[in-house]
Amino acid sequence: MRIQKYIAEAGICSRRKAEELIEKGLVKVNGETLSEFGYQVQENDRVEVDGQEICGFEKKVYYMMNKPVGYVTTVKDQFDRPCVMDFIGEDIKERIYPAGRLDYHTEGLLILSNDGEFVNTITHPKNEIEKKYIAVVNGIVKEENIEKLKRGVMVDKKKTAPAKVFLSEIFKDKCVVEITIREGRNRQVRKMFEAVGHHVIELKRVQIGPLELGNLKLGRIRKLNPNEVQALMSAAGK
Ligand code: URA
C-alpha cells in the first residue's frame, strides 16, 4: 500500500495532507525520514508520523454510540474531562476514534471507526451529509424565526446553509424543535438558535445521513452492519 494511503487508512489525515507531511519531513519508515510519495509500505514496516507510530493495516471496523452529556469526543481532553473513549470496552482492539464532534453538553449519535478514508468522507463538509438534531429551547420559537432558521442565519459572520426545521412540541416556557443541517460548524445548532434569540437547553443528535440512533441506550455502542456503512458512503456520494 502506498504511504499516503497507509497514513490516510490509519486515520491521521487525507492522502493529500499526508503528502504535505512527507514534504515537511515528518514521516519516517523504520527510523529513516521518507523523501518520496511512491513508497510501498510492507507488513513489518514501522511507520511514524510526527514521532508517533501509526498502523494502517488494521481490519476496518465501524461502530455507533449514544453519547451521554458530560463527555468530550476528542481522544484526549486538555481539561481532563471524561471522554467517549471511556466507553470502548476491552473487546474492541482496533484503534477507533470519533467521526466528527459532539459538544460536551450534547448527547446522541456518534460514529466511530478506524477507517480514515470513511471518516474523512462522512465528515467532509463538501459531502454535505445531513445531521438531524432534536433541540429543547427556551421560549416558543415563532413561525417567522423557524423560517429564518430554514433560510439561514448569521453564525460567526457567515450565513448558514438552508436547513430543515420543524417545531414539534410546545410547552409553557419551552419547545422542541427538530433541525437538520448539512454543515458541521462549531456549536452550530446552539449558535443558530442564539441568532434568533433562543437558548438551547438540551440537544440530541438522532440521525446522520440514513443512519438513525434508534433505541440504542445512552452510553451504549454497537457495530454498524455493512449495509449501514455502505448507505453512509452513498449519502456522501461515494
Ligand atoms: N451543534 C451544536 O451546537 N452542538 C453539537 O454538538 C452539534 C451540533
Are domains 62-125+216-235 and 130-208 of this chain identical in fold?
yes
Identify the architecture of domain 62-125+216-235 in CATH: 2-Layer Sandwich (3.30)
pTM score of the predicted model = 0.84
Question: From the CA of 101, how far away is ligand 1's center (Å)?
Answer: 8
In ligand 1, which atom is closest to the CA atom of 200? Answer: 3
CA distance 31 to 190: 46
| Grid cell listed for 98 | 470519533
User: Is domain 3-54 given the CATH code 4.10.490.10 in the classification?
Assistant: no
One-letter amino acid at 123 equals T
Q: How far is CA 20 from CA 35, 40, 85, 140, 145, in A?
A: 11, 17, 29, 49, 44
**In the predicted model, what is the mean pLDDT of residues 100-123?**
94
* Residue-range domain boundaries for the chain: 3-54, 62-125+216-235, 130-208
Q: What angle do CA 193, 70, 216 make, to 5 degrees?
A: 90
* Cβ–Cβ under 8 Å, residues 145 and 161: no
Rounded to the nearest 5°, which phi and psi values hold at 84?
Answer: -60, -20
Q: What is the pLDDT of residues 5-56, one digit of tens each?
A: 899 888 788 888 999 999 999 999 999 999 888 899 998 899 999 998 888 7
Atom 4 of ligand 1, nearest CA residue: 187
Q: Which CATH superfamily is domain 130-208 in?
A: Alpha-L RNA-binding motif (3.30.70.1560)
Q: What is the pLDDT of residues 61-96, one digit of tens each?
A: 999 999 999 999 987 778 889 999 999 988 898 889
Kindly state if the Cβ of 188 falls inside 6 Å of ligand 1: yes
In ligand 1, which atom is closest to the CA atom of 105? Answer: 6
CA distance 35 to 179: 47
Kindly state if the Cβ of 103 falls inside 6 Å of ligand 1: yes
Q: Which residue has the higher pLDDT, 110 or 125?
A: 110
pLDDT at residue 235, as a whole number: 96
**In the predicted model, what is the mean pLDDT of residues 98-102?**
93
Atom 7 of ligand 1, nearest CA residue: 102
Question: From the CA of 183, how far away is ligand 1's center (Å)?
Answer: 11
Q: Out of 67-76, 129-138, 181-190, 225-234, which region has the weakest mean confidence (pLDDT)?
A: 67-76
| Grid cell listed for 120 | 474523512
Kindly state if the Cβ of 115 falls inside 6 Å of ligand 1: no
CA distance 192 to 187: 9
Kindly state if the Cβ of 137 falls inside 6 Å of ligand 1: no
Q: Out of 1-15, 25-39, 159-173, 193-207, which region has the weakest mean confidence (pLDDT)?
A: 1-15
pLDDT at residue 116, as a whole number: 84
**In the predicted model, what is the mean pLDDT of residues 184-201?**
97
Q: Catalytic pick from 50, 77, 103, 156? A: 103
pLDDT at residue 112, as a whole number: 96
Kindly state if the Cβ of 182 falls inside 6 Å of ligand 1: no
**In the predicted model, what is the mean pLDDT of residues 138-155?**
98
Average pLDDT, the chain: 94
What percentage of the chain has pLDDT greater than the value 90? 76
CA distance 95 to 85: 10
